[in-house]
Amino acid sequence: MKGAVIVEEVPSTGYPAVDDWVARAPNFTGDVVDRTDTDTATVTVGAPDTNNPFVFTPPVLKIASGTTVEWQWAGSGPHTVTFEDHDIGTDGVVSTSGVQFTQTFAESGTYRYRCDPHETLGMRGAIIVE
C-alpha cells in the first residue's frame, strides 16, 4: 500500500476573501476574468466544457458597478445561485438550460455565491464590483 499527500498553495487573486471562498472550486486557478468594460457579463452554471459539471465558469468575475450579470444554465442538472451576505439569488433549484437568473450590481464590493445542492463539491463563485 502506498499513498501520497500533495500540499499546494491556494492560488491568489489578490482578494483574500475571494481566495478563501473559492479555494475549493474545482476550476479555480487564481485568475480573475475582467469584464469591467462591458454592460453585461455571463457566468455559466454547470459548465459542460469541463470534466466537472459542478462549477461556475468563470469562478471569479470582476465587473464595473452598473453591470448586469447573467447566470446561464448549461443543462447539467439542478443548481441555485445563492449569495452569502446579500439577499439576492434564485428562488429555488433550477434545471432548465438558458439564462435563468440576472442581477445588476450597483454598489462596489465583493459578492460571494454558491450552489446550495453542490456547495460541498466546491460549487462557489465570486463577483468583484469596482
pLDDT for the residue numbered 19 = 95
pLDDT for the residue numbered 117 = 94
Note the maximum CA span of the chain.
56
pLDDT for the residue numbered 68 = 98
pLDDT digits (tens, 9 = 90+) for 81-90: 999 988 888 8
How far is residue 4's CA from residue 74's CA, in Å, rounded to a whole number? Answer: 35
Average pLDDT over all residues of the chain: 91
Contact 81, 101 (CB under 8 A): yes
pLDDT for the residue numbered 90 = 85
pLDDT digits (tens, 9 = 90+) for 20-71: 999 999 999 999 999 999 999 999 998 766 678 899 999 999 999 999 999 9
- Alpha-helical (H) ranges within 1-130 are 16-22
Query: Global pTM?
Result: 0.89
pLDDT for the residue numbered 37 = 97
Contact 95, 67 (CB under 8 A): no
pLDDT for the residue numbered 49 = 67
**49 exposure class (CB count in 10 Å sphere: 0-12, 13-18, 19+):** exposed
